[in-house]
Amino acid sequence: MASRFCVFTFICLLSPVVAQEPGRLSTSEVLGQVRDLLAQELTDSGVDKLVSTSAQYPEVVIPELLQAIESRPLTETRDKDRARRLADVISYTGGRASVDALFNLLDRNQAMYGRSFIRMLDYSRGRSNSFALVYEALQRSNDDLTNALVDWVASAVDRGGPDEESFAKQVMSRYGGRPSAADLSADSLVKLLPREVVSRVKDRINAITARQGGRVGIDR
């Protein structure tokens, strides 16, 4: 009898059926809630509920939001407003799924969704590498979005402290350490920044290099 119980226990442990975590909804329950909200007029309360649900279940909610945006023609002002608000929900969520969804939207209409991407950069500070996302976005941006990205980085560096440090480290990671002056002059983002911002980035890179015991002195 004991051996039968052991075999039963072993089979249960190997079973692919996993008990649902207490307090968490099933995928079908989440989809039901999201689809009910999307079927209604999108109120502030509805947006708040979507933000909350998306934060808890991004892998379920974000594809649904993306489909809701892409499935409705943007011929009326209210449809455009609705699409922008749903894109903002995606931007609040953060994470890779959010990034990929916003890149998808940017490829369709940068004028419509560029603002949501910039917002995502604000919300992602401290949670993910915002500056890496800027470099990624530059590869697919038009002039208007590029200008917005450059302004965002310049403002972040101007704040100094952690943001300036994070950007300097991101630049260094692209070159495996302290970049040369030629590297910075050709860098897809640094070359677009105002001269005074670049000067601060150089100083910060030199400070980081000194802390690490390396040779400092990027040509100014």
Residue 142 backbone phi and psi in degrees, to 5:
-90, -175
Of 82, 100, 128, the position where a domain reaches its end is: 128
**Is the distance from CB of 50 to CB of 34 less than 8 angstroms?**
yes
Q: What is the pTM of this model?
A: 0.77
Q: What is the pLDDT of residue 200?
A: 95
Is 78 in the same domain as 153?
no
Q: What is the pLDDT of residue 12?
A: 45
In a domain, 67, yes or no: yes
| Domains in the chain, number | 2
Q: What is the pLDDT of residue 217?
A: 53
Q: What is the pLDDT of residue 215?
A: 60
In a domain, 37, yes or no: no
Q: Give the residue ranges of the chain where pLDDT is below 50.
A: 5-18, 220
Of 100, 128, 156, the position where a domain reaches its end is: 128
Closest to 42 in 3D by CA, of 75, 106, 89, 76: 89
Domain that holds residue 167: 130-214
Q: How far is 54 from 11, CA to CA, in rounded Å?
A: 35
Q: What is the pLDDT of residue 104?
A: 93
Give the chain's mean pLDDT: 87
Is 87 in the same domain as 101?
yes
Give the dihedral sign, CA 176/177/182/188. Answer: positive
Is 83 in the same domain as 100?
yes
Is 112 in the same domain as 145?
no
Is 134 in the same domain as 175?
yes
In a domain, 191, yes or no: yes
